[in-house]
Amino acid sequence: MKFVDEVVITLQAGKGGHGCLSFRREKFVPRGGPDGGDGGRGGDVILRATAELNTLADFRFTRKFSAGNGTGGAGRNRTGAAGKNCIIPVPAGTLVFAEHTHELLVDLDTHGQEFKVAAGGRGGVGNARFKSSVNQAPRRTIPGAEGDRLSVRLELQVLADVGLLGLPNAGKSTLLSKISAARPKIADYPFTTLYPHLGVVDIGAGAGFVVADIPGLIEGAAKGAGLGVQFLRHLRRTRLLLHIVDISDHESEPPRSAVEVVVKELETFDPQLAGRDRWLVFSKSDCLERAAAAAICEETLSRLDWGGPWFLISGVSGAGCDEMCQKIWQKLDDERGKR
């Protein structure tokens, strides 16, 4: 299934039913008076967030949604039926923007959260409502109102605690498959990952967190090169970034340069995202001797003047992964306790 994270849809709320013009007509009741009922209200268009969806792919072929119209009123003061609401399920983590003004209408980030994006038209008024002491036989009614019509842009930002970023083939997908049950595509060529993948890391005893893997970044990504910049928005909800750095080919591509390329693109795309907590993770340690791998890490950290947490891991053998996941959980748990 194709991953879709942005789509424009057109919404039409229901029209209100017309008010009824009617007079009571019964035997032995020569002046029954007005008895026209009100029209029913038009149906609303409602967006409902659900954790059961993780893409906007359902909107690829259906872009127009309409709620039901209210029915007209009837004699004997009968009110018309209200139009049926149109409830549209969207993935939790969906931002809803007005297409023409680009205004953010709502952030649907919780399972079950609902938002009435288009209101149905009010029902019309029957002539019974206009009866008065000076107007015993009113012939006035009010028609039903039109429902809201608008276009909205849905933008999905996946919900994850931790985000993986780095150059193509840095080992992000391999790491995700090692620490979670996710099975992203893994191959020895760039841009194997074409869209974000989510994985749940189980620490045990009810502890765990969600990790998001996005396509790798390359130099010039912020200007449109490659794929990763299209999906960087998915890291905006994360609380921690793991910067994966491949040290297996350190001679042709120094780890320091790999780090600086990604940081530059991150700062160009979103300075606020670049300022988020970021840990360095040196991957593919299984390709080198332990001492050589440690030496490369120390040299890179010294050149970068890095003072934050860092780890040396292998997504293939799993070396260092358990310790890293425990540290991540401790950080996330401490942040929850401070809220």
pLDDT cut 90: percent of the chain above it: 61
| Plot region of 210 (φ>0 → left; ψ -120 to 50 → alpha; else → beta) | beta
| Plot region of 235 (φ>0 → left; ψ -120 to 50 → alpha; else → beta) | alpha
Q: What is the mean pLDDT of residues 115-129?
A: 97
pLDDT at 230: 66
pLDDT cut 70: percent of the chain above it: 90
Please say if the pLDDT value at position 1 is more than 90: no
Helix ranges, the chain (H): 172-179, 255-269, 271-274, 290-304, 321-338
Quick one: which of 52, 63, 48 has its CA closest to 6?
A: 63
Q: What confidence category does residue 265 fall into, taking pLDDT thresholds of 50, 70 and 90?
A: confident
Q: Which pair of structure tokens corresponds to residue 78?
A: 């009968």
Sign of CA dihedral 240, 246, 252, 256: positive
Quick one: which of 243, 239, 219, 244 has its CA closest to 229?
A: 219
Q: Which of 4-8, 247-251, 295-299 has the highest mean pLDDT?
A: 295-299
Q: What is the mean pLDDT of residues 220-228?
A: 53
Cα 40 → chain centroid: 34
pLDDT in tens, 310-323: 999 999 999 999 99
Quick one: which of 195, 157, 199 has its CA closest to 174?
A: 199
| Domains of the chain, start order | 1-156 (2.70.210.12), 162-338 (3.40.50.300)
Q: What confidence category does residue 339 fall into, taking pLDDT thresholds of 50, 70 and 90?
A: low
Q: What is the mean pLDDT of residues 331-337?
A: 86
Q: Which pair of structure tokens corresponds to residue 186?
A: 């893994």
pLDDT in tens, 186-221: 555 444 556 678 888 988 776 789 998 887 676 655
Q: Are 9 and 63 in contact (CB under 8 A)?
A: yes
Sign of CA dihedral 183, 242, 314, 260: positive
**Could you tell me which residue, 226 or 305, shows the higher pLDDT?**
305
CA distance 158 to 200: 13
CA distance 185 to 215: 11
pLDDT at 131: 94
